[in-house]
A and B are shown apart, each in its own frame.
Chain A
Amino acid sequence: MDAVLNAITSLNEGFLFNLQLFGITLLLAIPLGLVIALGSMSKFLPLKWLTKTFVWIIRGTPLMLQLFVVLYGPGILFDIPMSNRFLAAEVAFVINYACYFSEIYRGGIESIPKGQYEAGAVLGMTRTQVFFKVVLLQVVKRITPAMGNEVITLTKDTSLARVIGVTEIIMSAERFTKQGLIWPLFSTGLYFLVMNGILTVLLSRIEKKMDYFKA
């Protein structure tokens, strides 16, 4: 009985890392993604190309590799070793997800008909007003399904942090496998299933909230 309790406690502690990584990544990558999206749509070409190249590199290489680069890079390049593995995972996840989000935002923003901007403009609105008062909510509505997909992928990706030694849930469970106990490893799936079940409900509520208009 003690062994069971011990395993469950260990899984819970591991999952807390997954949850933290998930929460912080969303919180930071959502706004950072918008900054990157605006950069990639900039009319100032050097900024545009710099941003696009950055997004290409981040989307074009494995997140697993990026985790190693963030962990070892600062030590190798600037002689400042990254001491905190969780922080390294956090940085890699925020950058990676911000780039994916930025492409979703860009697609959403560019899908809004030109007429919406023009209608706002001829009514004397500033560009900022048109963006925040007219365009933004329409973009949010259009990108919610795609963002939902990314969010659900993120819950599972958090397990990748184990490759740089963050003891998230699967790494915690594997310790028991080595002791001949296989069920903790398999039950980690339940944690993800429950979490994504909750997220799916939340996401569909958000979509419903915006059902009152068509865009």
Chain B
Amino acid sequence: MAVLEVKGIKKNFDELQVLKGIDFSLEKGEALALIGASGSGKTTLLRCLNFLETPTRGQIYVNEKLIYDASNPSMLSEREIRRNRLHFGLVFQSFNLFPQYTALQNLTLAKELLARETPEYKKNRKDVLDQIKTEGEALLASVGLSDKLDFYPHQLSGGQQQRVAIARALMLQPDILCFDEPTSALDPELTGEVLRVIRGLAEKRTTMVIVTHEMKFARDVSDQVLFMDKGVVVERGTPADVFEHPQEERTKQFLERYFEE
């Protein structure tokens, strides 16, 4: 069963069409790598999934349920969007941790706010909060940061910050975890620790969509690769297909340029 199905997504910014009709689907436990040159629309596609951009056309299904349809404006209310975007988690290129909160608080904040809306919270406030804290601690431990719970973002290295950000996204147990060039803002010596965490998630069969410029990583970690160029999916397939036997001229050129460097 497809966890995620994207149909005919188009996105215009005024006159400029950035996405020209994107279709793909993702099975549970699959990792999809989105590759392509800057400006090809990968990041915009990811932002559409997280409702940071509103697709101009198209539908999005999660667990076979229609959660977005560009032709149905009632799906655009803040309430609906807020509920539906919880299917997705997003790890940003620039981390975007909340600077005034510790690593642990960065994880627990959103979950606590969501818990406030539940009836259990009113009855058992302390238990609910303790439970959230325990979950947060466990997640930070799972990304190797159990000794940094009470550190503020500025006291952490870029790699550590990004690992906190990954844990923060996992905290709400999204169906699909999205990464927007998670290592592009990092010094080269810090990318390894972040890629290892993502690799670990892939081994645990976390459903993921990863926008990346790290081709070797994309090849190793993904089950499916989409190569995008100028707002369309030019080529798709298994990593072996796309990287070893690209069919399209544009894919070949892109990969040649990349592996030459």
Contact at A127–B78, with CB atoms within 8 Å? yes
| A215 lies within 8 A of B100 (CB) | yes
Task: Report how far A44 CA is from B207 CA in the complex, Å.
Answer: 41
- Report B-chain residues with C-beta under 8 Å of the C-beta of A180: none
- Flag if A125 contacts B99 (CB, 8 Å): no
Interface set, chain A 113-133, CB cutoff 8 A to B = 113, 115-116, 118-127, 129, 133
| 1/0 contact string of B68-101 vs chain A (CB within 8 Å) | 0000000000100011011011101010111110
Contact across chains for A121 and B109 when beta carbons are under 8 A apart: no
A interface bracket (residues with beta carbon within 8 Å of B): 20 to 34
How many B residues have CB within 8 A of the partner chain?
A: 28
Q: Is B168 in the interface zone, CB < 8 Å from A?
A: yes
Cα–Cα distance between A126 and B81 once the two chains are bound (Å) = 10
Q: Does A213 reach chain B (CB closer than 8 Å)?
A: yes
Query: Whole-angstrom distance between the alpha carbons of A212 and B155 in the complex?
Result: 10
Q: Indicate if A214 sits at the interface (CB-CB under 8 A).
A: yes
Q: How many A-B residue pairs have CB under 8 A?
A: 67
Q: Is the CB of A116 within 8 A of B98?
A: yes
Give Cα A119–Cα B164 distance, bound, in whole angstroms: 13
Complex: A127 Cα to B113 Cα, angstroms: 12
Assess the B154–A134 pair: CB atoms within 8 A: no
User: Contacts A115-B92, A121-B52, A122-B52; is A137 near B168 (CB within 8 Å)?
Assistant: no
The answer, yes or no, to whether A138 is at the interface (CB within 8 Å) is yes
- The 9 A-B residue pairs with the shortest CB-CB distance, nearest first, are A123-B110, A119-B96, A115-B96, A214-B154, A213-B100, A122-B90, A215-B99, A213-B99, A137-B100
Known contacts A120-B110, A122-B50, A122-B85, then 19 further A-B pairs from the complex at CB < 8 Å, ordered by chain A residue: A113-B96, A115-B94, A116-B98, A119-B96, A119-B98, A121-B82, A122-B90, A123-B169, A123-B172, A124-B83, A124-B85, A124-B113, A125-B113, A129-B113, A134-B98, A137-B100, A138-B99, A213-B153, A214-B99
